[in-house]
Structure 1
């Protein structure tokens, strides 16, 4: 079953674009670990929040990705930009009309 992690990251004032730059940096190791989709977004009316949607082969692949050196480096670089406000949800997908 496909695992989905969708969330929000609260960002320190004026640091949103800097955080987005880190989150969208090319990282081929994610796909190799089982990431199918990793989308980062913003809303003009909400400059203190970054939105992230991840789709993984399964929850184990997501957990394994957190151990990758590339991911650890991105987390370390992003941490000072985060306000500490987090939201979101995780679920195992029941299916999609876009895939068999």
Structure 2
């Protein structure tokens, strides 16, 4: 089974980046107990004051999909939606590198 990842660009409504960031950081803390979530990093864009980037890696596409059905995830999404002006995402398939363990030893 292949790992699944995503880069998501969240554009917050003006002045709402920090509030949105706080909700995403709560989600990251909650993901600590979800073994299938291997990486969930929230980043502020240096040159765009309303933009956040989220980098995610999951054990599989199915694990990511299952996480979206969790009550805590759905609640966080509900709290975040009023703060979001736009979202763009790129799905990725991690193949190796520092910080992740792969079954093929990479």
TM-score with structure 1 setting the length: 0.88
**Conserved 8 A contact 1:10-1:49:** yes
**Conserved 8 A contact 2:4-2:92:** yes
Aligned-pair CA distance for 1:3: 0.5
Aligned-pair CA distance for 1:29: 6.7
**Conserved 8 A contact 2:31-2:37:** no
The aligned runs of 1:1-100 (5 Å cut-off) are 1-25=2-26, 26-28=29-31, 31-32=34-35, 34-83=36-85, 85-93=86-94, 95-98=95-98, 99=101, 100=105
**Conserved 8 A contact 2:43-2:54:** yes
RMSD: 1.5
For structure 2, the 5+ residue unaligned runs are none
Aligned-pair CA distance for 1:28: 4.2
Aligned-pair CA distance for 1:87: 1.7
| Distance verdict in 2 for CA 1:28–1:39, change over 3 Å | closer
For structure 1, the 5+ residue unaligned runs are none
Give the total of aligned pairs: 97
Which structure carries more strand by proportion?
1
Runs of 4+ in 1 over 4 A off after TM superposition: none
